């Protein structure tokens, strides 16, 4: 189980939102230094999000993406505001390990095209509240698209792994939605990176128990920034 620190960027600062709402807590004014810090702490992969881009539908913090990709030697995945194949190429050319699609991933034809071209350099984040898939920076529901329906479509497209974010849990420190993760793993037989709600090492222990069912990683934000535990402590559950 890969332990993945999150770096969420808004207006050039490292922030955390609660359930995707606009009120934010700023943790650093230097995203590049934050990335270097997590590398020093032993991170094997970084999860970078352009929150402005996710909301506006176009990348807004690309300069930080470039700088981080140059500054660290570990892989970096990036999401937020990616809407075209040109966006994907630009990011991969900048040194990003893989791009994270959300809003455009519900369009089967677009997804099939990019998967055919970029293969495992693309991963999809399924962001949901209850059973409704959210798009456009979590501000809008995807009409008539349930989590199960989308996962069936993604698997059919050839994806072997996804990110699943429970928006109700994100930034709350209330624990991950273990019940939902179990159901998705059992029903769809697809590898899942869990995101949202991790608050303590016990949460990581519970997630680790799902590894045998296909849980491949966990993205952690607020718990690390608020020192609920350290990255080396979390790595014991990897």
**What are the backbone angles phi and psi of residue 195, rounded to the nearest 5°?**
-145, 135
Least reliable range by pLDDT among 71-80, 129-138, 150-159: 129-138
Among 50, 52, 87, 127, the active-site one is: 127
Judging by beta carbons within 10 Å of its beta carbon (0-12, 13-18, 19+), is residue 217 exposed, middle or buried?
Answer: buried
Residue 51: pLDDT over 60: yes
- Identify the structural domains of the chain with CATH numbers, from first to last: 2-235 (3.20.20.70)
Among 8, 50, 52, 87, the active-site one is: 8
Least reliable range by pLDDT among 11-25, 74-88, 111-125, 210-224: 11-25
DSSP 154-197: HHHTT--EEEEEETTTTTT-S---HHHHHHHHHHH--EEEEES-
Residue 137: pLDDT over 80: no
Q: What is the pTM of this model?
A: 0.93
Could you tell me whether strands 24-28 and 46-50 are parallel, antiparallel, or unpaired per DSSP bridges?
Answer: unpaired
CA distance 238 to 235: 5
pLDDT in tens, 29-50: 999 999 999 999 999 999 999 9
Decide if 8 is catalytic.
yes
């Amino acid at each position: 189980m890969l332990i993945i620190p999150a770096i969420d960027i808004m207006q050039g600062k490292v922030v955390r939102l609660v359930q995707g709402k606009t009120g934010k807590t700023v943790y650093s004014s230097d995203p590049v230094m934050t990335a270097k810090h997590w590398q020093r702490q032993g991170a094997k992969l970084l999860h970078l999000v352009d929150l402005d881009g996710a909301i506006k539908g176009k990348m807004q913090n690309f300069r930080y993406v470039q700088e981080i990709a140059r500054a660290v030697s570990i892989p970096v995945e990036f999401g937020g505001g990616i809407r075209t194949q040109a966006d994907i190429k630009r990011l991969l050319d900048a040194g990003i390990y893989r791009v994270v699609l959300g809003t455009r991933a519900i369009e089967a034809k677009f997804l099939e095209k990019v998967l055919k071209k970029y293969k495992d350099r693309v991963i999809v984040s399924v962001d949901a509240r209850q059973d409704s898939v959210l798009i456009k920076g979590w501000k809008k529901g995807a009409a008539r698209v349930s989590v199960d329906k989308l996962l069936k479509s993604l698997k059919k497209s050839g994806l072997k792994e996804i990110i699943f974010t429970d928006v109700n849990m994100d930034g709350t420190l209330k624990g991950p939605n273990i019940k939902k993760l179990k159901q998705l793993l059992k029903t769809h037989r697809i590898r899942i990176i869990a995101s949202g709600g991790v608050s303590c090492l016990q949460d990581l222990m519970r997630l680790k128990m799902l590894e045998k069912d296909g849980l491949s990683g966990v993205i952690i934000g607020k718990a690390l920034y608020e020192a609920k535990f350290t990255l080396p402590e979390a790595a014991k559950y990897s």
